[in-house]
Amino acid sequence: MSNIKNHKSKAIVGFVAVALMMGMSLPKAHAQLSSANYSGRYACASASDDNFYTAIIKYGPNGSGAYAAGTLIASADAFTTFPTVSPTGDYCIYTLDTAASSYSIGSDGSGFESLSWTSTGPNNATLGCPGSFVDQTAIGLRNDLNASGATLRSEFTSANLLGEDEPGHGHCLK
């Protein structure tokens, strides 16, 4: 009887050792990402056409494929001579049409955005800024998440910044 117990205890010890080794060496599955990981406020820098067109964006993906709000501010030097209105007024300003904008993120963290920007800046016409436009991006979420599961950074490449039909790219930071 005692011999059996002794063998059992040895078997358990062996099993545990193997289990521990397995636990330490098993490859870990990739985290699954989704639209839920893109939420809250992001500040983005974007450029296209050899960095001739540049813009900053502040927007709020809602974690489920839509946006709560968004603002795009672009340097007007691409369209007029500085300063036209004033040093602080020479910017083209747009507001995100949230009803016409959306995004999707696949499980590998890559996805697409469709962003409909409405011209709303008071000086846009004077500065020769482009009118309202639709931009689209291919976007990838970094797998570095905050406590609520939102990514801290995304990378994107865009197809139509400021409606100029030029490829561009940039990043968004939490």
Partner 1 sequence: MLKRKWVAAKLFAVLGGAGLAFGLCVPSASAQAPTPGNFSNANYANRYVCNLASDDDFYTALTTVFPNGGGTFTSGTMEAPVSAFVAFDPTLPPPANFCAYSLDVAGSSYAVATNGTGVEVLSWSPASTNNPSCPAGFLMSDSFVMRINGAKPSGAVVRTETTSDNLLGEDEPGWGPCLK
Would you tell me which residues interact with partner 1 (CB under 8 A)?
2, 5-6, 8-10, 12-13, 15-17, 19-20, 22-28, 30, 47-51, 108-110, 112-114, 133-134, 136-144, 153, 155-160, 165-171
* 22-55 burial code (b ≥16 CB/10 A, e <16): eeeeeeeeeeebbbebbbeebebebbbeeeebbb
> Which distant-in-sequence residues (6+ apart) come within 8 Å of 171 by Cβ?
44, 45, 153, 154, 155, 156
Q: How far is the CB of 69 from partner 1 (least distance, A)?
A: 20
Are the beta carbons of 92 and 130 closer than 8 angstroms? Answer: yes
Q: What is the CA radius of gyration of the chain?
A: 25
Residue number with CB closer to partner 1 (31 or 83):
31
Residue number with CB closer to partner 1 (49 or 77):
49
Q: How far is the CB of 167 from partner 1 (least distance, A)?
A: 4
Residue number with CB closer to partner 1 (8 or 83):
8
The Cα 149–Cα 71 span in angstroms is 24
Q: How far is the CB of 22 from partner 1 (least distance, A)?
A: 7
Residue number with CB closer to partner 1 (30 or 128):
30
Residue number with CB closer to partner 1 (79 or 112):
112
